[in-house]
Chain A
Amino acid sequence: MQRYSGFGLVKHALGHHENWERQWRNPTPKKRYDVIIVGGGGHGLATAYYLAKEFGVKNVAVVEKGWLGGGNTARNTTIVRSNYLWDEAARLYNHSLDLWKGLSQDLNYNVMFSQRGVLNLGHTLQDMRDIQRRVHANRLNGIDSEVVTPGQIKEIEPELDISSRARYPIMGASWQKSAGVARHDAVAWGYARGADALGVDLLQNTEVTGFKILDGKVLGVHTNRGDIEANTVGCVAAGNSGVLANMAGIRLPLESHPLQALVSEPLKPVLNTVTMSNHVHGYVSQSDKGDLVIGAGIDGYVGYGQRGSYPTIEHTLQAIVEMFPMFSRVRMNRQWGGIVDTCPDACPILSKTKVKGLYFNCGWGTGGFKATPGSGHVFAASLAKGEMHPIAAPFSIDRFHTGALIDEHGAAGVAH
């Protein structure tokens, strides 16, 4: 692998940038691998990377039906935070946040992780009680969360309307200073390049059409490029997890919904941080390029169309203008939808299944991007050892029968 550095940039500039290496190979599928990862998004690529790097499993294939990082990894609003209520979720997302901090150095790839902080606004007394409860829970789990007053909010984000004239006046917020944003595409590409350099085969345009299962054990996958064998298969397919599970005869407690995001025309720097509101229901940050990155709720119906409905766009922008009246005349540039696999308790599923050797990492719903490194790391550990990693263990699919749900609807930030 060609290492990137400032010196290298100067060297290639002198050579008119004609000698950059390809970031990863485009290999032909082998007959057999130790582990197959189905799904080449951020989580899948991170899993492959950590399998090869930390757990010594290098004979790995990532099977992707489209191109790498072309699904929800490319469609989210790039927010990274870990201020979740319950211990299990806080551990998982905080493990991820710890990995984010050193990710650019680890991957030798600039993922543009910027810890600019996240505000979660409260507009009612109940909001404020929930925020206080969550902040206290966060602090017990070692997460840097605090409750801030409207006066402090104005100092953090001066353009927010904290006046009492607002329809839903802002009463306070939770503030996680170590949270922020990262460049979504770079995360997928960085993991892909790192995994490839360690010997992982990234198989693009390879669609899984079925599983080879004998006596309750997985033996491999059928694809449009032939059968590939492996005794361990990890499915990390987000919105299409249910479709894959069906092929293996497994039911998942998931529903796939479109979740939209939009970006505005580029503006001069106006936002310092990420602002989210559950109550008026919208969230916004500003990318380094200058566009406002805006998101809100899922469309209420099951859909695989990767596009969203107009009423949802309207509600989203109403919320943004409610929080930031100065954006009322900003023009939107692009809008898109991703398919999110929502779970009844708004927490992911990292689990073994009734098919031996077949694992699922899914159900991240509306908040998977922030968890990319942590999810990949604990899932890789689980696949390598055949036992779920202690951080992943509470997210077993069994919880929907035992009742040990982890209800994160309050912290999820997107109602569903």
Chain B
Amino acid sequence: MFHIFCPYCQEHREEEEFHARGQAHLMRPADPDNTSDEEWGDYLFFRNNPRGIHHEMWVHSVGCRKFFNITRNTVTYDILETYPMGEQPTITADSEKLRKEQGVQTADGGWQTVGAQPESKALNEETSS
């Protein structure tokens, strides 16, 4: 069960209040009249389907009913950050790789967000996994 922080309501709510709406940051072709079949097909149907860090759009459907984005790990299901529409993620697959190499892990098994300090020094040490 996800416990999702809505960036508009500014509080954590249960998964059932939300609805997943697929990959985030999709750009509609700017000039639809001069867009090839290739580009239309790519825009409509082709998606990143990563095993790992994924940026996706969710809607707080029975809450504030606003859309926002989540950066989530599709294997561990850890939610790494939520951010409003129009903003860019601070955590990406590349930055996450870097952080893992540095070994800054939080107490609950997730990875610390950018800029935050680990809660204790012990957490800063490399884990055997």
Query: Interface of A with B (CB < 8 Å)?
Result: 240, 242-243, 251-256, 300-305, 309-311, 341, 344, 400-403
- Could you tell me if A302 and B54 are in contact, using CB atoms closer than 8 angstroms? yes
**B47 adjacent to A311 (CB under 8 Å):** no
Q: In the assembled complex, which residues on chain A have CB atoms less than 8 Å from the CB atom of B54?
A: 302
Min distance, Cβ A343 to any Cβ of chain B, angstroms: 8
Residue-wise interface mask of B (75-115) relative to A, using a CB-CB cutoff of 8 A (1 in contact, 0 not): 11100000000000000000000000000000000000000
A301 contacts B37, C-beta separation under 8 Å: no
Task: Pick the contact of A253: B15, B16, B20, B47 (CB < 8 A).
Answer: B47
A314 CB, min distance to chain B CBs, angstroms: 9
Query: Within 8 Å CB of B77, what residues of A?
Result: 303, 305
Given contacts A301-B72, A400-B45, contact A310 B1 (CB under 8 A): yes
Q: Which residues from chain A contact B30 at a C-beta distance below 8 Å?
A: none
Instruction: Given A255-B22, A302-B74, A305-B76, verify A311-B38 contact (CB < 8 Å).
Output: no
A415 to B54, CA, bound (A): 22
Question: Per-residue 0/1 for B1-37: is the Cβ within 8 Å of any A Cβ (1 yes, 0 no)?
Answer: 1100000000000011001101000000000000001
10 nearest A-B pairs in the assembled complex, by CB-CB distance: A242-B49, A401-B41, A300-B20, A253-B45, A301-B20, A400-B45, A400-B41, A344-B45, A253-B46, A304-B51
Do A302 and B56 touch across chains, with their CB atoms under 8 A apart? yes
Q: Distance in Å from the Cβ of A241 to the closest Cβ of chain B? A: 9
- Inter-chain CA distance A300–B2, complex, in Å, is 12
B44 located at the interface, meaning its Cβ lies under 8 Å from any Cβ of chain A in the complex: yes
Contact A311 B1 (CB under 8 A): yes
CB B104 to nearest CB in A, in angstroms, measures: 23
Q: Is the interface of A mostly helix, strand, loop or mixed?
A: loop
B1 to A, closest residue via Cβ: A310
24 residue pairs of the A-B complex, CB under 8 angstroms, read A240-B51, A242-B51, A251-B42, A251-B46, A252-B49, A253-B45, A254-B49, A255-B49, A301-B20, A301-B56, A301-B74, A302-B49, A303-B74, A303-B75, A303-B77, A304-B75, A305-B77, A309-B1, A309-B2, A310-B1, A311-B1, A311-B15, A400-B44, A401-B41
Question: Is A402 a contact partner of B45 (Cβ separation < 8 A)?
Answer: no
Q: Which single residue of chain B is at the shortest CB-CB distance from A253?
A: B45
Cβ A252 vs Cβ B46 within 8 A: yes
Contact of A256 with B2 at beta-carbon distance under 8 Å, contacts A300-B20, A302-B74 already known: no
Residues of B within 8 A of A301 (CB): 20, 56, 72, 74
Tell me the complex Cα distance, A269–B45, Å: 44
Cβ–Cβ < 8 Å partners of B56 in chain A: 301-302
| CB neighbours of B74 from chain A (8 A) | 256, 301-305
Contacting residues, chain A, for B51 (C-beta < 8 A): 240, 242-243, 304
CA distance A240 to B50 in the complex (A): 10
- Return B71 CB to nearest CB of chain A, in Å: 12
Question: Whole-angstrom distance from the CB of A23 to the nearest CB of chain B?
Answer: 31
A401 to B39, CA, bound (A): 8
A128 to chain B, nearest CB (A): 28
A30 CB to nearest chain B CB (Å): 29
Given the interface pairs A302-B49, A302-B56, A403-B37, the reply to whether A309 lies near B15 with Cβ below 8 Å is yes
Alpha-carbon distance A311/B56, docked complex (angstroms):
20
A300 pairs with B46, CB closer than 8 A: no
When distances are taken between beta carbons in the complex, the residues of chain A under 8 Å from B49 are: 242-243, 252, 254-256, 302, 341
Which one of A240, A300, A309, A401 lies within 8 Å of B38 (CB-CB)?
A401
Which of B1, B16, B42, B77 has the most C-beta atoms of chain A within 10 angstroms of its own C-beta? B77
A-B contacts besides A304-B51, A305-B76, 18 pairs, CB < 8 Å: A240-B51, A242-B51, A251-B46, A252-B49, A253-B45, A255-B22, A255-B47, A256-B49, A301-B20, A301-B56, A305-B74, A305-B75, A309-B2, A309-B15, A311-B1, A400-B44, A401-B41, A403-B41
Docked pose: A402 CA to B20 CA in angstroms = 28
